[in-house]
Amino acid sequence: MTTLGTIAITVATISGITGALAFLLSLANKTIANYGEMKLTINDSKDFTVDGGETLLSSLVDQKVFIPSACGGKGSCGYCKVTVIEGGGQILPTELGYVTPDEQKEGIRLSCQLKIKTDMKIQIPEELFSVQQFEYRVEFIKEVTPTIKHLRLMLPEGEELQFKAGQYIQILAPKYKGNDEEVYRAYSLASSPLDKKAIELYIGLVKNGVATTFVHDYLKPGAKLTVVGPYGDFFYQETDREMVMVAIGTGMAPIMSILKFMRDSHIKRKVTFYFGARTKEDLFEIDTLEQLEKELPNFRLITCLSRPTEQCQWTGEKGRVTDLLEKFLENCADQEAYLCGSPVMIDSVMPILMAKGMPETQILYDKFE
Ligand SMILES: Cc1cc2nc3c(=O)[nH]c(=O)nc-3n(C[C@H](O)[C@H](O)[C@H](O)COP(=O)(O)OP(=O)(O)OC[C@H]3O[C@@H](n4cnc5c(N)ncnc54)[C@H](O)[C@@H]3O)c2cc1C
Ligand code: FES
């Protein structure tokens, strides 16, 4: 036999074996991994029939039960925790970074990682049953800085979103050129909960970010956008304490919602907002905040720039928000704080507040991770 003949037979044999393996794998997938229909019981009161083999998170979404999933199911936010009473099996390596040993003992799991392979019983907070999904219409998208867009989204006719000032929603970014998967991402509501017809968001562009590229480059006024919510335990507290608010960048969004809510509800509590940015250009919606200063009798806005340029012609405070707190805040044992923005900012502000006497239980925060 010629060398060419030997090569041809070898290639044909390898192709045959590969084909047979692919067939066996697909057969195994259809039989072994086909778990069939399973029963999912929530809070001992609601039974659903779901397809086995799917993640718990996506099975819940199919049943219109929306668990928070700020990273869109990537296993990197830890927001999608549920308590599994029965049928969860062993905790997975991908969950370990987010579920503490104590939580593991209570059966807490990441619903985006856990697959349903047997009948399952879970427990979730009752308020998650009131989370709704609507198709909003984009009323406007305005650029407030070169990297931050202000969006106003109109609710469908006759619908209403009940939320607390400070909470967030998730948008569903669809597939677009260069992105072939739909993803949910979390954004804080910036409007007053008393504005019943629409919601507002501030969305900062993240380089190569799936959802933010969609919003900044593809989303247009008039388009429809799927929104699910509300979520979150960072919201306005009904107390009489003086309030300290700290934010940088788009972390200002939920603070804006709380301030507008206080204005609309004629709440006259003393409140100081420390708002930081790099340059004057990044210090957005200052006109709106200054207007709120006129409308809210006990509200004071204090801004600072960490990297003012010559063009900024900045005569105000220089440095980071932590410098502002060191300078302006005295004993704050009887005050409560609302912190919002990057994890680094929040982790550096917390010890300052506690050193000035604020108990940890009076500090609320939302980390944009
Ligand atoms: C409760 C909550 C509320 C939030 N509210 C807001 C809000 O009001 N406005 C807002 O703009 N964002 C907000 N975020 C952040 C938002 O959910 C997204 O994480 C962010 O917009 C990036 O999404 P993406 O799909 O564009 O990026 P992805 O595709 O998820 O990320 C792309 C890459 O960028 C990195 N990355 C992700 N986020 C950042 C970041 N902020 N800075 C630098 N690198 C990053 C990722 O690690 C990844 O490598 C909030 C997050 C949480 C958890
Ligand atoms: S959705 Fe983010 S960890 Fe599960």
Tell me: the pLDDT tens digits for 134-193? 999 999 999 999 999 999 999 999 999 999 999 999 999 999 998 988 888 999 999 999
pLDDT band at 2 (very low <50, low <70, confident <90, very high): low
Q: Is the CB of 99 under 6 A from ligand 2?
A: no
Ligand 2 atom with the smallest distance to the CA of 71 is 2
- Candidate of 282, 340, 368 to mutate for ligand 1, largest count of ligand atoms within 8 Å of Cβ: 368
Ligand 1 atom with the smallest distance to the CA of 213 is 26
pLDDT, average across residues 306-317: 93
- Looking at every residue in the chain, the average pLDDT score rounds to 92
Ligand 1 center from residue 186 Cα (angstroms): 8
Which pLDDT score is estimated for 31? 52
Distance CA 138, CA 152 (A): 6
Distance CA 91, CA 110 (A): 9
Distance CA 346, CA 363 (A): 10
pLDDT band at 70 (very low <50, low <70, confident <90, very high): confident
CB 94 within 8 A of CB 75: yes
Ligand 2 atom with the smallest distance to the CA of 111 is 4
Q: Whose Cα sits closest to atom 31 in ligand 1?
A: 209
Ligand 1 atom with the smallest distance to the CA of 207 is 34
Tens-digit pLDDT profile for residues 264-304: 999 999 999 999 999 999 999 999 999 999 999 999 999 99
Distance of CA 348 to the CA centre of its chain: 21
Ligand whose nearest atom lies closest to the CA of 99: 2
Long-range contacts of 354-360 (CB under 8 A, 24+ apart): 356/325, 356/329, 356/330, 356/331, 356/332, 357/331, 357/332, 357/333, 358/244, 358/332, 358/333, 359/333
pTM: 0.87
Q: Is the CB of 82 under 6 A from ligand 2?
A: no
pLDDT band at 15 (very low <50, low <70, confident <90, very high): low
Q: Is the CB of 184 under 6 A from ligand 2?
A: no
Q: Which domains does the chain have, with CATH numbers?
A: 37-128 (3.10.20.30), 131-231 (2.40.30.10), 242-367 (3.40.50.80)
Ligand 1 atom with the smallest distance to the CA of 77 is 53
Which pLDDT score is estimated for 128? 92
Ligand whose nearest atom lies closest to the CA of 188: 1
CB 164 within 8 A of CB 236: yes
Token pair belonging to 254: 């939920």
Residue 12 above 80 pLDDT?
no
Ligand whose nearest atom lies closest to the CA of 369: 1
CB 344 within 8 A of CB 338: no
Tens-digit pLDDT profile for residues 73-95: 889 889 999 999 999 999 999 99
Q: Is the CB of 256 under 6 A from ligand 2?
A: no
Which pLDDT score is estimated for 356? 96
Write phi, then psi, for 262 (nearest 5 degrees): -65, -40
Tens-digit pLDDT profile for residues 19-67: 566 555 555 554 556 778 999 999 999 999 999 999 999 999 999 999 9
Q: Whose Cα sits closest to atom 18 in ligand 1?
A: 185
Which pLDDT score is estimated for 27? 54
- What is the percent of the chain where pLDDT is above 70? 91
Which pLDDT score is estimated for 76? 86
Distance CA 264, CA 257 (A): 10
Tens-digit pLDDT profile for residues 194-222: 998 999 999 999 999 999 999 999 999 99
Q: Is the CB of 92 under 6 A from ligand 2?
A: no
Which pLDDT score is estimated for 4? 58
Ligand 2 atom with the smallest distance to the CA of 110 is 4
Ligand 1 center from residue 211 Cα (angstroms): 8
Alpha-carbon distances, residue 146 vs 25, 87, 205, 306 (angstroms): 50, 49, 9, 18
